[in-house]
Structure 1
Amino acid sequence: MGKNTRNQIQTAFEIAKKVYLNEVSVSEGANQLEQIGLKRSSSLDYIYAYSKMMQGKLYTRTINAYATNYYLHEIFKQQGAQGLRSALLSLKAHIEYYENTSGASVIKGREIYDMYFNYIKDNLVATVYPDEVELKKEYSEGLTRQVIVNSYERNQLARQECIEHYGFTCQVCDFNFKNAYGELGQDFIHVHHVIDIATIGKKYTVDPKKDLIPVCPNCHAMLHKRKPAYTVSELKNIMRSVN
């Protein structure tokens, strides 16, 4: 790929970001990209790809491998881990869409996805809540308590895809942290594994919409008051019987 084409893609990223932030219209952005030599259709592809990546949603038109890698790199640099997770969800949806509709494998796209996914998995530490750890040693009050994360990996992309589907409202009691705490509570929720992963004994592929569900910390704790855990329906019935 020539230097000019890379420059065009880098410019496309900056203009796509301005469109996403409503600083320029889609039409104005496409016109600017046409002026640097990009075709109208390609200009729109780059603009829409950025918007979908920022939202973690499917984009159907393909952008080339260099553009995909550059977009992910810049989104991570500018938006951090949360932005990169959204972009990876979008890329994953695009790869699956393309492979299902065309029957062709997106080898380079999967390589790029795997590279950034592994970076998140290996280098970014997710928030760990008390119900998601096992005690290794416990000392008397006032001394350090040592904990280790449950050996079953908490897949952060699966967690985010679950939240993208259900939202940040507890699916048991309908509590929403943003509604209760304002900005402090924005984007906060626990995610419950419908199947108790500690009982499986092996790795398995998580379906974010079937195997995970957002719940508040109180309901999460109550779900795990029994082993195996209560189902969401069972806990809802208990709450109805009390209230």
Structure 2
Amino acid sequence: MTQYESIHQKFLLYLEKNVRTFSVEEREALVHFAETQLVDYIRTYFIPHFGKLYAKTDAALYQDLRNKVNTKPEAKAENEACEGRYSMALKYYAAFLQSAIFKGKEKVKLMAGEAKACQDPLLPVEEAALTEGKLHQVSLTKHERNQALRQLCLKHYGYTCQVCGMNFEAVYGKLGKNYIEVHHINPIAETDGEHVLDPKTGLIPLCSNCHSMIHRGKNGRVLTPEELKAILHQQ
């Protein structure tokens, strides 16, 4: 597990323990939002050369950015347009960076089998039914994502967003080659442990924007790709 992956897991754990009103999907959506759209927001309005979220772990920086949101009309307007989601992400990330969970006083421990999977995530693909979602005990119970299923999904669909048609390589050149996010049609957190999953019908490649938007249905409901396409085409 890389340093960034470790911080990602700790951020989720912090939200689980300190923001009880959030569902699993809402916690995952907030972390994903912070890692992607919040970073773009910071670059656009405050720090043009801002890098990855987990590369900067100074809580004071994010507290200062949150205080500045309302000082710039354009930044304020965008924040209000998404119901304060940017300031909320800054608030929770800054609080997380000051927590015992982030500082290592409450560590996320991997079981031996999971650690091995992190070192060698791509397993040989066989004819037998592929499963994922097996429960592992970390500091919290998490669902294991099968990397082989991700690769089979990408082999079938390619690296183009199946909602808006964006291809990262076409837009960013070599930097974007072989990059795309993979979305579970049925949220893995709602499954009952290990289950069979068809990578052609249960997974779908989405760009970062569409992946964030698909998790913003009313009352925390995850939209279907067709519903998100319809919304996109209405604009």
Shorter-chain TM-score: what band? 0.3 to 0.5
Structure-1-length-normalised TM-score: 0.42
Higher relative contact order (CA 8 A, sep 6+): 2
TM-score by length of 2: 0.44
User: Considering only CA atoms, is the larger Rg found in Structure 1 or Structure 2?
Assistant: 1
